[in-house]
Amino acid sequence: MNARLARLIAAASVLLWAQFAAAQADWGLHELMRELAQTRRSEARFVERKYLSVLDAPLELTGRVLYVAPDRFEKRTLTPKPETLIVDGESLTLHEAGRARPRRLRLQDHPVLWGFVESIRATLAGDLAALERFYAVGLDGTRRDWELALAPRVQAMRAVVRLIRIGGSDSKVRWIEVTEAQGDRSVMQVFEDRQ
């Protein structure tokens, strides 16, 4: 190998590295979180499919989700059965059809549920600290097409959830996939309303 070629390769690799570094500096987990945190309010339609070992066929749910910064999240299921889940601050309220009084829980009393709620709420809020409290957070992809992988840190939660993956582009969440410990899985697709 002659010296010119060696210089060329060196220059090219420096250039490539610089480009890569620039891309990293430009966009990463912190940057993604910062962008997600810009959204004060978002509303969307969803379709969720649950693949459960106890059922022969997947269960399909549709409805709407709403997020209002910093800590309110609503999931209104419309089919097959109306049901509304509201998380506001530390409280979780579940309105079920055919039940006069809603169920109310404090998230702090149910750490597994709390962790599950934060996978979505803290992502929408761009709150990395809250996410990392419950999960080891991994990021893959590009700004246009990113994918977060959330692996539960605590044993109590790992007994229920194996992995949560959240995909999106720019500051929009597009889909959420939850894989449970026993292998049951649910995939929720989110179609954001035009602002």
Sites of contact with other proteins (CB under 8 A): 50, 52-57, 59, 61, 75, 77, 80-81, 83, 85, 94, 96, 103-104, 106, 108-113, 116, 160-161, 178, 180, 182, 184
Q: Which residues contact 18 (CB under 8 A, 6 or more apart)?
A: none
- Smallest distance from other proteins to CB 176, Å: 12
Instruction: Please identify, using beta-carbon distances, which residue of 109 and 140 lies nearer to other proteins.
Output: 109
- Smallest distance from other proteins to CB 28, Å: 30
CA separation (Å) from 36 to 51, 53, 91, 118, 139? 29, 34, 23, 14, 14
In the block, residue with structure tokens 């992502």: 123
Q: Which residues contact 8 (CB under 8 A, 6 or more apart)?
A: none
Instruction: Please identify, using beta-carbon distances, which residue of 36 and 120 lies nearer to other proteins.
Output: 120
Question: Is 124 in contact with 42 (CB distance < 8 Å)?
Answer: yes
- Smallest distance from other proteins to CB 57, Å: 5
Question: Is 176 in contact with 188 (CB distance < 8 Å)?
Answer: yes
Instruction: Please identify, using beta-carbon distances, which residue of 68 and 112 lies nearer to other proteins.
Output: 112
Report the interhelical angle of 29-38 vs 111-125 (nearest 10°). 80
- Smallest distance from other proteins to CB 147, Å: 21
